[in-house]
A and B are shown apart, each in its own frame.
Chain A
Amino acid sequence: MGFLKSLFTPLTNTSYKTSSILVAINVLLAIVLWQVFASGGLIPTPLKIGQAALRIMASNGFYDNFFISLTLTLKGMSYSILIALVICYLSLIPFFNPLAKFVIKCRYLTLTGLIFLFTLLTSDGHNLKMGLLIFGIVPFFVTSFLSIIDSINEQEYELCKTLRMNNWQTLLEVVIIGKLDMVFEVMRQNFAIAWMMITMVEGLSMSEGGLGTMLIKSNKYIDLGSVFAILLIIFAIGVFFDYLLKNLRMWLFPYTKLQVRK
Chain B
Amino acid sequence: MVISIHKITGQEIMYQKEEIILKVENIHLAYDRLILRDVSFEVHNITRPNLQQGQVVSLIGRSGIGKTQLFKILSGLQNPTSGKVLIGSDLHPVVEGEVGIVPQNYILFNHRSILDNLNLGLRGSINKLNDHEKIELINKYASKFGLSEHLKKYPMQLSGGQRQRVSIIQQILTGNKFILLDEPFSGLDPVIKDKVVELLINISELDELNTLVIVSHDLENSLAISDTAFILANQENQEGATITEKIDLMEMGLTWDREIKTKKKFQDLVAEMKFKM
**Interface residue ranges, A against B (CB under 8 Å):** 153, 155-156, 158-159, 161-165, 173-174, 177-178, 180-181, 253-255, 258-259
Residues in A neighbouring B121, C-beta threshold 8 A: 163
* Contact (Cβ within 8 A) A162 B111: no
* Contact (Cβ within 8 A) B156 A164: no
Interface of A is mostly: helix
Across the A-B interface, the 5 shortest Cβ-Cβ residue pairs:
A164-B124, A258-B156, A164-B97, A161-B96, A155-B107
CB distance from A168 to the nearest CB of B (A): 13
Asked if A258 meets B154 with Cβ closer than 8 Å, knowing A155-B107, A164-B174, A181-B111, the reply is yes
Residues in B neighbouring A178, C-beta threshold 8 A: 109-111
* Contact (Cβ within 8 A) A162 B100: yes
CB distance from B237 to the nearest CB of A (A): 34
Starting from the known contacts A158-B77, A159-B109, A163-B174, 11 additional A-B residue pairs (CB-CB under 8 Å) come to: A155-B103, A159-B108, A162-B77, A162-B100, A165-B124, A177-B111, A178-B111, A253-B111, A255-B111, A255-B156, A258-B156
B128 at the interface (CB under 8 A from A): no
CB distance from A253 to the nearest CB of B (A): 7
Residues in A neighbouring B111, C-beta threshold 8 A: 177-178, 180-181, 253, 255
* Contact (Cβ within 8 A) B97 A162: yes
Closest to A158 in B: B77
* Contact (Cβ within 8 A) B105 A155: yes
Residues in B neighbouring A173, C-beta threshold 8 A: 109, 120
CB distance from B182 to the nearest CB of A (A): 10
* Contact (Cβ within 8 A) A163 B99: no
Q: Can you report 15 A-B residue pairs in the complex whose CB atoms are below 8 A from each other? A: A155-B107, A158-B77, A159-B107, A159-B109, A161-B97, A162-B96, A162-B174, A163-B121, A163-B123, A164-B124, A165-B124, A174-B109, A180-B111, A258-B156, A258-B157
Counting residue pairs across A and B whose Cβ atoms lie within 8 Å, the total is 60
Residues in A neighbouring B174, C-beta threshold 8 A: 162-164
CB distance from B60 to the nearest CB of A (A): 23
Residues in B neighbouring A180, C-beta threshold 8 A: 111
* Contact (Cβ within 8 A) B110 A162: no
Closest to A259 in B: B156
Closest to A159 in B: B107
Residues in A neighbouring B123, C-beta threshold 8 A: 163
Closest to B180 in A: A162
CB distance from B251 to the nearest CB of A (A): 32
Residues in B neighbouring A164, C-beta threshold 8 A: 97, 124, 174
CB distance from B202 to the nearest CB of A (A): 21
Residues in B neighbouring A174, C-beta threshold 8 A: 109
Asked if A158 meets B101 with Cβ closer than 8 Å, knowing A177-B111, A258-B154, A258-B157, the reply is yes
Please report the C-alpha to C-alpha distance between residue A151 and residue B224 in the assembled complex, in whole angstroms: 38
Asked if A162 meets B156 with Cβ closer than 8 Å, knowing A178-B109, A255-B110, the reply is no
B58 at the interface (CB under 8 A from A): no
B170 at the interface (CB under 8 A from A): yes
Asked if A255 meets B103 with Cβ closer than 8 Å, knowing A158-B77, A162-B97, the reply is no
